[in-house]
Chains A and B, each alone.
Chain A
């Protein structure tokens, strides 16, 4: 009986949220557009090797910097490689950077944030001070130093970006937990003698998930741009594997001779970031229980 009592309120709340959320999401045109973009990028990333028209890696000196044509819809780059193929494969790099970095940031950051908010006391103070210190360090600098330390590679860049973005989630999660700690659910659950970790998993996490998810989409967008910045400095995905940021960086040298080269990766970065942001905004609007 007590079990049912405990779970029922949460489930009812969650169910109402879900129905309303999905409905709202689908009605929002901007969100649909964003979703479309995200799904397209995901599709490219997952099925890259099946849909690429040409080899994205092998240079072809005869075709250096050719403009768009029937054979090469987006033209060729400075080593004669098909830009469209490189863009499709680049989706894999950029999206990995987005998902993995944001994933690291969300889980690591939120874990410590929940810990700090729930435990309070000395644990809270220590975690908050460290998070503040990390937040005070400029994001790109942390990413650069970590990426240099760990060695230039996509994985290390993702770890670096994830670590640099984590403190935001710590703060966010902590403040959300503090809000909820004072509610009746948690008070009564504690009074009933439930273990802390059960309280956290069943009561706290579902209720703080929404803002964290929204922040995560913003972090994903920042991560994609950060990966581009790191390739500018030579850290990040290593050649010859393409990433949109690295493609943009190479194209920068040919802006006046072949402006088309920059257009496509730039557009790809812009659209993917836009897509994530729109989905994030829509999620927030939909999941926010206080919306009419």
Chain B
């Protein structure tokens, strides 16, 4: 009896120590609600990657790849998409995943009061169950960006029964479809997930537990990585890269982000738009030319980030070679200002203070000064900045966008008249026509040509002066194998393991 216990005990100890692998990931912020429908935060999406599976996903080259949907067909007119679903998939509570679950989820995204996926799914009219493994999306109008939208929160599948029971409080105890299920959460501290043994691809996931820890201070986050209290830290500061690379037990993996940082100009939103910079595109062009983007990268980011003037980064298939980033030209800037009749404009710039953005602001302030432009820097905090933008209380706003796989996600809502994210109230009917057309076809070449037409206008009128594209930089223990960097900044744990 006793020996039996001893052996059992020893075996248990052996198995638990051998397989009790926990991956500790350091996040920059605390995720908001762990529910894909109302979810708003970037870091929330990182947690969702492991917690909730989705219909389709993006590859590192930004191609749409199957996930819970194995294949899809779009009709000629682009108004019906039929998905064939993966068989044998269950939610984390055992409920079966089928076409009815997809219908439930899309309708939840569209109708739940707190859901902010509504505008993303605006083109979807109805979802039909054809058979348990076939689901049909009927669209109001063709939407080439819909598939890309379904690679994110709008396409994530939560367990219908659990969602119905929990209602708005589902996010406190989410039951989803991913490789890891929710265990516990301490706000602003950590989120623990554990392995879902019934996941359809469970063998590709090697960790038993994932712990996401929130450590906003970048120095503290780096210190935790270096001291071994974290295995992976996201969004490492570019100036820390050298330090990590110097450690033998750590390494750096990076990918150029889909998102940009730029100056949004108030061209028509209230009285503040009457300033010279809002009224005359020559002033905006001068400002853009006064900035040495590569110099900005070298000074603030050790040259790690990518300068840019288009809405999409060079990695995007929609990036146009016809509009390269121009070098700095102070003389041309000065002559533009002279032609516009305002040689020494004073321009307000609002921004959310963070050490990184602070430096960017100071550097462009100094650069603009060389061309005779005085930038008044007004630091604020995020909530206020968003409010000021919405209210039109700004001349320019230094703000970024985390980026979407489809260029539509980086452009549409910012440029169309009355667009939801168009705080500068830019309005040009020609641009609207072009952007609406880009949604009608899925042909890459055709869309690219349309976006080039858009670029020609946007880069002349400059309602948004793009500065640079981030890079997502992950620091991690050198023992971590199989980590693939994606331009959307997400951490995908398929085939990732810790070498022994």
Contacts and interface: CB of A to CB of B under 8 A. Distances in A.
Q: Do chains A and B touch in the complex (CB under 8 A)?
A: yes
Interface of A: 57-59, 61, 64, 78-80, 148, 151-152, 234-235, 238-240, 249-250, 252-257
B384 A253 contact: no
Nearest to A144: B381
10 contacts: A59-B366, A61-B295, A78-B359, A148-B381, A235-B353, A240-B362, A250-B358, A253-B218, A253-B240, A257-B242
B219 A252 contact: yes
9 closest Cβ contacts across the A-B interface?
A234-B353, A61-B299, A59-B366, A240-B362, A152-B379, A239-B362, A252-B219, A238-B379, A58-B366
Contacts of A256: 243
B380 interface: yes
Contacts of B298: 61
B188 interface: no
B29 to A, nearest CB: 15
B239 A152 contact: no
A25 B31 CA distance: 57
Contacts of B16: none
B377 A253 contact: no
Interface string B350-368: 0011110011011101100
Given A79-B362, A79-B363, A256-B243, A234 B379 contact: yes
B361 A239 contact: yes
B354 A148 contact: no
Given A151-B380, A234-B379, A240-B366, 9 more contacts: A59-B299, A59-B366, A152-B378, A234-B352, A238-B377, A252-B219, A253-B239, A253-B240, A255-B219
Contacts of B380: 151-152
A136 B353 CA distance: 29
Contacts of B242: 257
Contacts of A64: 299
A253 B237 contact: yes
A59 B381 contact: no
A58 B367 CA distance: 9
A254 to B, nearest CB: 7
A250 B355 contact: yes
Nearest to A59: B366
A133 B339 CA distance: 60
Interface string B199-239: 00000000000000000001100000000000000000101
Contacts of A152: 353, 378-381
B381 A249 contact: no
Contacts of B239: 78, 253-254, 257
B377 A239 contact: yes
Give the one of A148, A249, A253, A255 with max B CB within 10 A: A253
Contacts of A257: 239, 242-243
A79 B359 contact: yes
B399 to A, nearest CB: 15
A59 B367 CA distance: 9
A80 B299 CA distance: 9
B365 A240 contact: yes
B30 to A, nearest CB: 16
A159 B299 CA distance: 35
A141 to B, nearest CB: 15
Contacts of B355: 249-250, 253
Contacts of A58: 366
